[in-house]
Amino acid sequence: MDSERYARLRELFLAVEELPADEQVAYLQSQVGDDQELIDEVLSLLEEHDEESARIEGNAAKPPPLPSTGEASDSESASRRPGQATTDDENASASVAPFLPSADQPLKSAGGQRQVVGDARPAHSHSTRSNLPGSGALTQRGPNRTHAGKRYRKDSINAPNAAAGLWKYRVRRQRRFNSGWLWLAAILPTALMGWWTYHKVTNVLRNAAANEVIGIADSVSVSIDRFLDDQARLVQSWSRQPDVRDAILELIEIADEKEPVEKLKQAPQTEQIKEQLVALSQREDIKFVVWDRTGMIVASWLDDRADVGGTVAPDGAAKLALAMRGETVLFGPEILKPDDSGFIPETDRPVMAIIVPVYSQDDRIVASMLIRGFGMFDEFDEIFRQASVPGRLDVYAVNGDGTMVTNSPSALLWIGASGTPDEVEFIADRMRVTDPGKETPRSSLPNESRTVQPLTYAVARVTSSDDGLRMDGYRNYAGTPVVGAWRWLADWELGVIVERTYSNTFETAGIVLLGFVILGMLLTITALIAAARIARRTVMSQAAVHPLSRYELIKELGSGGMGVVYKARHTQLGRDTALKVLRGDRGNEEDQLRFDREAKLAASLSSPHTVTIYDYGRNDDGEAYCVMEFLRGITLDDVVARSGYQEYGRALYVLRQICDSLGEAHHLGLVHRDIKPQNVMLSLDASVGDWAVVFDFGLAKPLQTDIDAYQTTETIWAGTPMYMAPERYREPNKIDPRSDIYSVGCVAYFLLAGRPPYLESDPESLFALVLTEDPISIGVHRDETVPRQIDALVRRCMAKRAEDRYQTIDDLAKDLDRLIALFPWTVDDARGWWRVHGEEIN
């Protein structure tokens, strides 16, 4: 059973497991048609499935719950179900959806979702703050994960990562106690010296490691580019050799005759080509194939000429078309497979080949020729092997699908059961480089689970044509935390990855930190025994009168341009909330007024598809805070990253809910101005299926200005360029609801195509595309014809002129209602998707 059929079998089993027995067969028949074998396989699994035994076994296998003071999973994600209280699900992924403006500081992210705070970039995401391709174009953006964070007890004195401004009055009063001074006198010098030394060592190690991986990535990229260019020039010279070219031209003349296949099989020119290539390459086993302009094989190295008269395989037609246009094309590295023409590979190892055009005497392209078998892959693989240092540096190449195409020594060691590479001869073109979600001691090939796992951070970025570096750690194919650099070779459609284990990189810094921690403990243990009770009593008495004393801080979720956001819990109601506090360095009057405006604008909205504001105010020191709904789920950006382009019905259903949110805002004279996939949270509601919530109103502005309210004036663009309407580039300060409609059209395109409408990283080029060019047809990305009504709706939303779009969001909603009836998306459909792609969330 191949991976595709296995995934289909798993999806069907999960879908029918909860259905009544009398409905299961009918549901299967409606899903698979006449594939009775697949139906029988599902029914067989259902017969052997004992739900109660599985539940008992599953509970027994679960690790014991961590104490409240220990390490807890930082994989809490944000989604909201209407009318339902949220709980702290330790296996969910946390994402807060407040309305912060763009920020420069990255946020912590966990469990496959990013914690979205305005435009802040998640620290462990394949998406960037600029929201340019590479985040999911690829869908190909895979899920984003991080290490576990700390959980704190209710009686804990210190809140983790708390902004100094939030609890600064506690520190001031605590210092009035002699016990506090005793503690400070003991720990402060040690802490400062330890902090300074640790960060100095960490920075030195970080810079050294960054220079190393960048240098190796650049060096290998240059070597590979030069090597492949040399190989291409060599093959081109062979194809232009007079005897070879004349023989091919004679074969092309025979191919133009009626019923030419038998003549081609008997033609002596084929043997002449082979003899010349053997002489030129000095290799007896060199192999070649020649196609005419129709894609028919007119000659090959096979002695029996069995493939002559056949046509190019479908998956090679695109490369052949490029060669027919005069380009030199790289084939592989790839493991060859038998095809319908009777071709049987002579090796099970990966091969590389060069495809070149063949020119006539008058410089017209009349044929294409592939040449392989002259040791190209072995030399290619050797470049990466020499750059790798097992246990320290892992250097390998990937193709555009994220498949490893070189024999990484580190990967071979990981695959080998005995810890040696002898048990697995090669790994190239046999493993998709995905994130397994946790560190695994070893794996086996082939691994079917890798067809549904997300790509690793580095591979997701490099397959999006992105060059980059990441030093704060991400998981590799073995689930091991690593740092790395990557380069994309666009001419050859190959990516170069250089990775180094995180623990190896910062091992010295950890030893330094541990030494100072032990020293600090020895110096302060006596002082802490005397001071702990007094300090605790002081802090608790101070907290009782603080405006936020009814909220328990659990952890910091992130910091944006205006404020710091925490996950908090109401101590009386037990409800999780997102608590945003104005940053201590943004306390001037202008920032205070901007913070007020942002909270009031969002609080004026009550749609169930808009994030809800619970509370707002200031403490005695004038610090502003805002309490809002804590969302659980994943953003639309992550939805596409997990499963690619979406079903027509699902996209329409989600867009209709976005229109509900924007419809209320527009009727109240408010324009969002930053609608994009990262600002829409999706979750599963038990009664209605997919449930979308729009958040981040930090860039929202009213249509009619209020002279009594603080106003902002833009002289530069505010929003995400890839999803901004053309008129907003020309007049940044112009407020028009139809700009939101354009952004909704971009989100529709993203959901239906699986990638943004414009894949351009250079800002000037991106602006030019948005202003003048239409995006590639959705059908090209889906490889199918898109229903005319849906294509027309998206094109109308994304019209360059505002007058050509829907004039109101209500007009768009009416057309969506009409199309939803034609392309339904049911609750069962939603449950099936979330069961396969969102088990760790719901």
- Binding residues for ATP are 580
Q: What is the CB neighbour count within 10 angstroms for residue 488? A: 21
User: What's the rounded Cα separation, in Å, for the pair 702 and 736?
Assistant: 10
Q: Across the strands, what pairs with 551? A: 570
User: What's the rounded Cα separation, in Å, for the pair 181 and 105?
Assistant: 33
Q: Across the strands, what pairs with 556? A: 566
User: What's the rounded Cα separation, in Å, for the pair 180 and 610?
Assistant: 46
With contact defined as beta carbons under 8 Å apart, do 396 and 478 qualify? no
With contact defined as beta carbons under 8 Å apart, do 248 and 273 qualify? yes
User: What's the rounded Cα separation, in Å, for the pair 642 and 828?
Assistant: 19
User: What's the rounded Cα separation, in Å, for the pair 335 and 332?
Assistant: 8
With contact defined as beta carbons under 8 Å apart, do 559 and 165 qualify? no
Residue 219 buriedness (CB in 10 A; 0-12 / 13-18 / 19+): middle
User: What's the rounded Cα separation, in Å, for the pair 59 and 284?
Assistant: 62
- Residue 133 is given by DSSP the state T
Nearest to 97 by CA among 454, 548, 576: 576
Nearest to 240 by CA among 358, 325, 371, 365: 358
Residue 206 buriedness (CB in 10 A; 0-12 / 13-18 / 19+): middle
User: What's the rounded Cα separation, in Å, for the pair 713 and 733?
Assistant: 6
Q: Is the peptide bond before 547 cis (omega within 30 degrees of 0)?
A: no
* Cα dihedral 47, 52, 55, 58 sign: negative
Per-residue tokens: 798? 């994304």
* Cα dihedral 763, 768, 774, 779 sign: negative
Pure H helices in 49-146? 51-61
Q: Is 760 helix (H, G, I), strand (E, B) or coil?
A: coil
Per-residue tokens: 331? 């084939």
User: What's the rounded Cα separation, in Å, for the pair 470 and 482?
Assistant: 9
Biggest CA–CA distance in the chain, Å, is 105
Q: Is 335 helix (H, G, I), strand (E, B) or coil?
A: coil
248, containing H or E segment: helix 242-255
User: What's the rounded Cα separation, in Å, for the pair 836 and 820?
Assistant: 24
Pure H helices in 125-177? 168-174
Q: Token pair 């599953």 is at which residue?
A: 58
Provide CB contacts within 8 A for 66, sequence distance 6+.
72, 151
Q: Is 41 helix (H, G, I), strand (E, B) or coil?
A: helix
Q: Across the strands, what pairs with 578? A: 567, 628
Buried b (16+ CB within 10 A) or exposed e, 664-700: bbbeeebbbbbbbbbbbbbbbbeeebbbbbbbbbbbb
User: What's the rounded Cα separation, in Å, for the pair 772 and 724?
Assistant: 13
Provide CB contacts within 8 A for 810, sequence distance 6+.
659, 663
β 351-359/365-372 pair status: antiparallel
User: What's the rounded Cα separation, in Å, for the pair 714 and 731?
Assistant: 9
Annotated binding site: 580
Nearest to 459 by CA among 837, 126, 122: 126
Q: Across the strands, what pairs with 368? A: 291, 357
